[in-house]
Amino acid sequence: MTGKKVVGKTKAIKAKTKPATETTPVQEALQVTWLLKGKLKSAQIAFLRIGELLVQVRDKKLYAELKHADMEEYARERLSLSRATLYRYLQAYDWVKCSHPEWLEDKPKGFIPDLSDIGDMIWMEDQLKRTNLAAGDRKGLEELMQKAQTGELRQGQVAAYRQKDGKPTGTIAAYLGKFRNLRTQSARVKGMPPEVIRYLDNAIEILKNQQ
């Protein structure tokens, strides 16, 4: 009798247990998309954390403690970072700290746009600060900025906007050359404050991103 009761209970448990539901292709696509969104946001946060640490090395001149002449040498020899990549991190962090400090919180809420190339966003923000900006231009820039902050801005949209009136943007190349020459001359001046060199380097990187 006891054996029959055990068999009966086992059958009853099996009858109540439903087979695992297989994931449909749509469910799988949604799950992967959800994971990707989380990973992409984590990547942007990590980008800012790296920038924060590099700024710490820059501002406290920690590179000198390791016997490096400047920040560029430190980044190249210690971190295998190119000059352009180094200043992209620094530029991104400096801009975010000033304009979007909420992205630097421990657990930032909302969407963080791609920060690997933020030259367009910096340019748009600078333009929107102009008091003499025409109403039509302001509206167009605000729409582009909204797209940038929601991840909807496509490559070339800002460049197309800047050329919409038929005026060339080629003067940037001329200014870039002037800043590079000024940077070279400044580095030769004895006693030149390192902050001046740093700001010139940042300006050069911003101009390069606008070409």
Mean pLDDT, contiguous 10-residue spans, the chain (211 residues): 54 56 88 91 91 95 95 95 89 90 89 76 86 88 87 81 60 72 77 82 77 55
pLDDT of residue 12: 56
User: Residue 9 corresponds to which tokens in the numbers above?
Assistant: 């209970």
What are the C-alpha distances in Å from 179 to residues 41, 153, 197, 210?
A: 34, 29, 11, 14
DSSP 163-204: TTTS---THHHHHHHHHHHHHHHHHHSTT--HHHHHHHHHHH
Q: How far apart are CA 89 and CA 51, in angstroms?
A: 5
Which two structure tokens, joined as six digits, stand for 162? 């800047």
- The CA distances from residue 124 to 71, 144, 178, in Å, are 28, 8, 23
In sequence order, the 6+-apart residues with CB closer than 8 A to the CB of 203 are 179
Phi-psi region of 155 (alpha: psi -120 to 50; beta: other; left: phi over 0): beta
Helix axes 83-99, 25-59, angle to 10 degrees: 100
**Contact yes or no for 202/94 (Cβ under 8 A):** yes
State residue 168's pLDDT score: 47
Report pLDDT for 112: 84
- What pLDDT is attached to residue 186? 80
